[in-house]
Structure 1
Amino acid sequence: MSATDEGDLELIRKTVRELSRKYDWEYWREKDKKHEYPWEFVKAFADGGWLGAMIPEEYGGIGLGLTEAGVMMQEIAGSGAGMSGGSAIHFYVFPPAPIVRHGSEEMKQRVLPKIASGELLMAFGVTEPTAGVDTSRITTKATKIDGGWVINGQKVWITNAQNAHKILLLARTSPRTEEKPLHGMTLFYADMDRSKITIREIDKLGRAAIDSNELFIDGLEVADADVVGEVDKGFYYLVDGLNPERTVVGLEGVGLGRAALDLASQYAKDRRVFDRPIGQNQAVAHPLADSWIRLEAAEMVAMNAARLFDENKACGPESAAAKFLGAEAGFEACDRALSTFGGYAYAKEYHVERLWREVRLLRNAPFSQEMVLNYVSNQVLKLPRAY
């Protein structure tokens, strides 16, 4: 489902903006400083029903489309929450997509209402240290046993693992072949069993309120009932969530960039040097104006990708472009905000340094800008594949 009326979208923007901004700049600065998960923020969105944005109504969600979910996530990132707030909500909205589309009816009834209510926090386990962006080469392996599977392997950059109850885990169930390298992987809805999974948090540059982790999996048992869809087809189920995630990451980048632009614009009006506001100087004003234009363009591309997805039309190139442009425009706006603040940009009280640290992630994740260009080169321009 997707609302086509701009008035409906504006109501979502207004409602989410008001809810998000109850948690001010100082709230996020403290969460970042103390590395504290923003549970109060998550609960507020759970109470408002927003965690189930893209979960169908019959499973406890509100059954919205990608357009509405994208608007919601853009407003969260743009409120000052950045990727700390964005990721806290993002992981309720998009990782469940394979279950929504391919899980058994029993699994949907068992799992989705708990995600929508915020009762259940799920991690998403795909990336591995030795595979990088070549998912076909993951080595985490699931071995069949009576009534289920035993999983062994390693994952990296897994968000939420410190607090998650469950993990949607991709593992090899058949050997890789050159003919079908992406076949033979299966998605498991598994317990985050700390007796079988060793979790090590990664100390990182930004988004400190949200944990990122290495996982070492040794003898994790998963029942047959917790296989998502069919065995060996897990990677193809992931694709259902990739285009929406890329689109929304682009919109989150736009939100972050606009938050930084607002801070920089106000500072440029208030800060006086040589008896004039620094914003009167074109060297300050023009980069900010240029960023506004680029953010507007990135938003338009992302909203078009969301529309195509909601209309069940192909949107791979558009989603990739949305991620690329949102990450670029968002980072550039944050970087220019740093330049506007000059030396004060390094002071945490002005907040732009946190936005800069958080938006930089979007150039690398969920996949790099170079991989976007590889994809477009091959799929759109029909050039020889480089990867």
Structure 2
Amino acid sequence: MLEFSGEQQLIQSEIQKLCASYEDEYWQAKDRDAEYPEEFVEDLAEHGWLGTIIPEAYGGTGYDTLEAALILEEIAASGAGFSGSMACHGAMFVPRSILNYGSEEMKETYLPKLASGEKYLQCFGLTEPDAGYESTAITTNAEKDGDRYLINGQKTWCSRFYASDYMVLVARTTPIDEVEKKTEGLTLFLVDIEDALDQGAVDTQKIEKSIRRAVPSYEIWFEDLEVPEANVIGEVDDGFYQVMDGLNEERVVIAAEAVGLARVAIERAVQYANEREVFDRPIGANQAIQHPLADAHARTTSARNLVYQAARAFKDGRDVGEAANIAVYMAREAASKAADHAVQTHGGYGVATEYDVERYYREARLAHIAPISDEMIKNYIGEHVLDLPRSY
């Protein structure tokens, strides 16, 4: 079994206590009304959890990926599911761009505000309608004009835009036909959202969706958006490598969220299987119910071990490419199996919103698509682990 330090166990306990005050009805309403759980995120901020990975020197708690994974797993496992964990996921990890690549002045200016929850940096603008997983194909461009950049283009699936004060935007600063490699020529910008709206340089349209409705996503158009040169994050034209550098960490924490989702799905199914009686006995006594849940538990336990193996490797500074990709792949599988069996255990009530498992089922399906598909993970394993020819 996994072993955590006393401090890490205390983190788990504190998150469980905080989440306990947000009952199922809260999350059901947020999902039904497609309303961002602002109260919950503010509560996390007030307790300092949004600054988990921000060093103490900048007002954060100075923890690392492992502790962040524990926090997000417990949020999902509390009953919030992805509606809760992904509502704050961005606030905890998008600031990593500034932490890893921003100037010292940028760190001192923004990180303390983000750690305290005074300001939110939750929105990341990378995906485009015609680019998808092929990030090098983005066409949003940033043209230098004196001490500023003018940005034009379109992004899609930008989550938490109106729940953020800032966004990290990826744009092409050198045309693709002028670089030696298509991975060159991309740059990260820190965009002040209020300023962008005041400029009238941003137009948005909410994407109507049936999954993770409490975390809204948008299409965004930029027309001559002015961004100061001082808001460039890291080196100009090196943005692609900066984005890729954070992907393994993101996969570790998303895998932890999927494990949390699997845990709560199994918990709800077991509770129902013990309470529901048919033919004068609990349905949990039937192997048709019991064995799938036992299988789901075994898969979830295995996936959880992989997740924290990867998290510890990341914490130790070891290469985590293989571990992170396998962890997220197996955690997704565990979440899907658990949610599917939970719905089946509930029978007809499995699709009733009052029992929540239908929401977990929907959210588990999303995990196979975002932020990267199962197929792309298998491409990585095939090429970089098994040393097979590149397949795409």
The alignment status of 1:16 with 2:18, answered yes or no, reads: no
Name the SS for the 1:312 alignment partner: coil
Matched residue, 1:191:
192
Q: Counterparts of 2:370 and 2:72 in 1: how far apart (Å)?
A: 16
Of 198, 218, 234 in structure 1, the residue corresponding to residue 239 of structure 2 is 234
1:224-303 to 2 correspondence within 5 Å?
Answer: 224-303=229-308
Matched residue, 1:95:
94
For 1:13, the aligned partner's letter is Q
Is residue 251–residue 326 contact of structure 1 (8 Å, CA) maintained in 2? yes
Q: Which moved more, 1:357-366 or 1:282-291?
A: 357-366
Matched residue, 2:42:
43
Is residue 121–residue 165 contact of structure 1 (8 Å, CA) maintained in 2? yes
Matched residue, 1:149:
149
Is residue 98–residue 240 contact of structure 1 (8 Å, CA) maintained in 2? no
Of 311, 314, 317 in structure 1, the residue corresponding to residue 316 of structure 2 is 311
Matched residue, 2:175:
175
Q: Counterparts of 1:279 and 1:49 in 2: how far apart (Å)?
A: 41
For 1:235, the aligned partner's letter is F
Matched residue, 1:163:
163
Report the CA distance between 1:109 and its aligned residue.
0.9
For 2:48, the aligned partner's letter is G
**How big is each residue's C-alpha offset from its partner over 1:40-99, in whole Å with a ceiling of 9 and x where there is no partner?**
111111111100000111111111011111001000011011111111211111111111
Is residue 97–residue 240 contact of structure 1 (8 Å, CA) maintained in 2? no
Matched residue, 1:128:
128
Q: Counterparts of 2:64 and 2:165 in 1: how far apart (Å)?
A: 26
Name the SS for the 1:264 alignment partner: helix
Of 349, 355, 363 in structure 2, the residue corresponding to residue 344 of structure 1 is 349
Is residue 196–residue 220 contact of structure 1 (8 Å, CA) maintained in 2? yes
TM-score (norm 1): 0.97
Q: Counterparts of 2:133 and 2:262 in 1: how far apart (Å)?
A: 26
**How big is each residue's C-alpha offset from its partner over 1:10-38, in whole Å with a ceiling of 9 and x where there is no partner?**
11111111111210111100111122211
Name the SS for the 2:215 alignment partner: coil
Name the SS for the 1:338 alignment partner: helix
Name the SS for the 2:387 alignment partner: coil
Is residue 55–residue 62 contact of structure 1 (8 Å, CA) maintained in 2? yes
Is residue 162–residue 199 contact of structure 1 (8 Å, CA) maintained in 2? no
Is residue 190–residue 226 contact of structure 1 (8 Å, CA) maintained in 2? yes
Structure 2, unpaired ranges of 5+: none
1:200-219 to 2 correspondence within 5 Å?
Answer: 200-219=205-224
Is residue 278–residue 284 contact of structure 1 (8 Å, CA) maintained in 2? yes
Is residue 308–residue 315 contact of structure 1 (8 Å, CA) maintained in 2? yes
Matched residue, 1:323:
328
For 1:334, the aligned partner's letter is A
Q: Counterparts of 1:19 and 1:331 in 2: how far apart (Å)?
A: 26
* C-alpha RMSD of matched pairs (Å): 1.2
Q: Counterparts of 2:301 and 2:308 in 1: how far apart (Å)?
A: 11
Report the CA distance between 1:5 and its aligned residue.
5.4
Q: Counterparts of 2:210 and 2:289 in 1: how far apart (Å)?
A: 27
Structure 1, unpaired ranges of 5+: none
Name the SS for the 1:162 alignment partner: helix
For 1:368, the aligned partner's letter is S
Is residue 33–residue 208 contact of structure 1 (8 Å, CA) maintained in 2? yes
Moved over 3 A (4+): none
The alignment status of 1:117 with 2:122, answered yes or no, reads: no
Q: Counterparts of 1:5 and 1:294 in 2: how far apart (Å)?
A: 20
**How big is each residue's C-alpha offset from its partner over 1:305-324, in whole Å with a ceiling of 9 and x where there is no partner?**
11111111110111111111
Percent identity over the alignment is 46
Report the CA distance between 1:179 and its aligned residue.
4.5
For 1:311, the aligned partner's letter is D
Q: Counterparts of 1:94 and 1:386 in 2: how far apart (Å)?
A: 30
Report the CA distance between 1:239 and its aligned residue.
2.3
Matched residue, 1:386:
391
Report the CA distance between 1:175 and its aligned residue.
2.2
Matched residue, 2:84:
85
**How big is each residue's C-alpha offset from its partner over 1:145-187, in whole Å with a ceiling of 9 and x where there is no partner?**
0001100000010001123221100000112268522111000
Name the SS for the 2:367 alignment partner: helix
Q: Counterparts of 1:43 and 1:75 in 2: how far apart (Å)?
A: 17
Report the CA distance between 1:221 and its aligned residue.
0.8
Q: Counterparts of 1:15 and 1:166 in 2: how far apart (Å)?
A: 28
For 2:141, the aligned partner's letter is K
Of 354, 366, 372 in structure 1, the residue corresponding to residue 371 of structure 2 is 366
Q: Counterparts of 1:20 and 1:119 in 2: how far apart (Å)?
A: 21
The alignment status of 1:75 with 2:74, answered yes or no, reads: yes
How many residue pairs match? The answer is: 384
For 2:340, the aligned partner's letter is D
